Structure 1
């Protein structure tokens, strides 16, 4: 499904590496914890402090890695396509190892992680299947894959791509795709994953306080968290 069918902004669009490289300076002042961290906090699976080794796909500036570290995850590797983001993550120090690579082709070893996690990445992928396959390859038997995503309903209803404001004050979009819930389920099940948990976050009082203009989206879903297990 093409985002262009829903686009109401018409922003100039750049690729992921270019966009996040330019956005890095104020990325963390733009992305709200209500989008992803709040969903991770709701999950019953996995037991974070029982995780031995995690890989953070699309680790960005290290927000998710820092949260995982605070939850007691012992060892965390991070992968991201954008060197500018990785430089911030390196300074943050939450990851044991950082790798510049595509999230669907990391070059990391097989069956090395009992947690694979990816947050706010999949809307930039043309096809979900390579991500789910790479997560499977990286996962140990009985490992968990936790994925947080923009809800397709919000992308379609708002017509708003992932975007940032550049130094000249222009709003610039980063390549955005629409993946339905069924797209995730099909890609995951075809790979072998079993769904063990799913949460959807809606626009509520907290969100409206953060973004008053989003009152018109109240009660609409904005993000979702999937938890998949690789049965041993």
Structure 2
């Protein structure tokens, strides 16, 4: 297991997920770039978003992913998050049919009830990937998909940068960050019973440099990764 503390170059004070996202909620939409996750989802070939009858959005946050799914034609989306303030923002956005405050390892959602399970920018906050992959497998219908997109482990290590935001006093605050190698995702997914259907890695390119000029030093470095898993058994 790789320890983020071995790569941390910022030394920001760190808080747990519920505390951090509860404090970040008001500025979250203005600081998270679609290039990190939405742009990667847009490039996936396997998912047919318009055919999704019901999706489970795990770690739904303010509802960004749910709104994107609805825009792509998904008929219904249920959201789960551990942070009440994020759920309130998602509720105001109105993209989800049902919103639940729960741990992603134990959502309480109906088993085998979803064509698609999706999780965006969540895995770096989990100490262990296994429970997420197992819960997603429980939720998916036979032949259903689990799509996970997040920060690339290489980028977290190369930049030495945790997930962070500026607190009310303007000082940076980090949220608990873990590094999961690609092999850890593959092991967790296969162990949970998934079959890998597609994987994409995005790099820091011209579009990213336009958004964040200081990232020129990371040009061509992997920044995001997306995994598409299929539940093949009944």
Q: Same fold (TM over 0.5)?
A: yes
Deviation of residue 22 (structure 1)? 0.2
Misfit runs of 4+, over 3 Å? none
In the alignment, the residues of structure 1 paired with residue 191 and residue 98 of structure 2 have an alpha-carbon distance, to the nearest angstrom, of 30
SS in 1 for 2:34: coil
Residues 88-135 of structure 1: CA deviation (Å, up to 9, x unaligned):
100000000000011111011111101000000000000000000000
- 1:216: which partner in 2? 217
Residues 128-157 of structure 1: CA deviation (Å, up to 9, x unaligned):
000000000001100000000100000000
Deviation of residue 208 (structure 1)? 0.4
**Considering only aligned residues, what root-mean-square deviation do their CA atoms show, in Å?**
0.5
Aligned length: 232
* TM-score, normalised by the number of residues in structure 1: 0.99
**Unaligned 5+ runs, structure 1:** none
In the alignment, the residues of structure 1 paired with residue 73 and residue 170 of structure 2 have an alpha-carbon distance, to the nearest angstrom, of 40
- 1:156: which partner in 2? 157
- 2:137: which partner in 1? 136
SS in 1 for 2:144: strand
SS in 1 for 2:173: strand
Deviation of residue 46 (structure 1)? 1.3
1:71 equivalent to 2:77? Answer: no
* TM-score, normalised by the number of residues in structure 2: 0.98
SS in 1 for 2:127: coil
Residues 154-197 of structure 1: CA deviation (Å, up to 9, x unaligned):
00000000000001011000000000000000000011101111
